[in-house]
Amino acid sequence: MDLGLKGKLAVVTGGSAGIGRAIAEGLAAEGADIVIAARDKTRAEDAALEIGKQFGVRTGGIAADVATAAGCDAVISAAADMGGTDILINNAGTGSNETIQEADDAKWQYYWDLHVMAAVRLARGLVPQMKQRGGGVVLHNASICAVQPLWYEPIYNTTKAALMMFSKTLANEVAGDSIRVNCVNPGLVQTGDWIKTAKQIAGEDGWEAHLQGVADEAGGLKRFASPEEMAHFFVFLCSNKASYSTGSTYFVDGGWLKTV
């Protein structure tokens, strides 16, 4: 099946590992050129080099902290240097751990900048490139926690909910420019961060059982998704096979969501 992605330029934030890396590889496998943005210069450049070598596409790796205006500007410039953006994957983000009573203003501001303002700033800079190229796709990687919050990460819950609303608002604004905007709310995905935390809690011998306990409690399919499983859905939404999909939020959570 031809997904119509060959020769498109995709920008993937947080693209050196985890879900972002899997999305970048999935798009590259369909012939898309890739810009990898990550805070660590070596990891970004290495990921870009490996993807380019494996899939035979143009790639670029850039060190950029998209929680800052300067980092977003660097991503926008890198995309322009490669001819302009067709696809933007706003993936950079991380969980939090606090209570509302204990978290200070600085922590709230950091997550707001990372999860919300990065998407705002990159839209301001990359949507004009998409318009010049005749259209494009913007996907936001939010979280099931945007609507089904976990008690120990109120900042993450709140900022991901804001990202979901921003996605809908942006979709309405650019629909007439042939730019589709959607949001994906993943559930449990077995990334390096989950494994690291599980090992800290349960040790080298108990981390897998710990994660299975988390999945059992979530219900549904009672397992974690792989980053590659999540990436398949993102790649489909980027493709011309999803040409009538915009302004929507999709839950890819193995049945964890408790509401309809």
| Cβ pair 48, 38 in contact under 8 A | no
Q: Is the torsion defined by CA of 210, 214, 217, 219 positive or negative?
A: negative
Q: What 3-state class would DSSP assign to 248?
A: coil
AA identity, residue 50: E
- As a dihedral over the C-alpha atoms of residue 137, residue 59, residue 17, residue 152, rounded to 10 degrees, the angle is -40
9-13 and 33-38 strand pairing: parallel
Active-site annotation holds for 156: yes
The token duo for 26 is 């999935």
Residues in CB range of 148: below 8 A, 6 or more apart: 256, 257, 258, 259
Residue of 110, 111, 152, 156 with catalytic role: 156
Residues in CB range of 93: below 8 A, 6 or more apart: 14, 114, 115, 141, 160
d(C-alpha 234, C-alpha 185), whole Å: 11
The token duo for 256 is 């964890």
Residue 189 has what DSSP assignment?
A: B
Residues noted as catalytic:
156
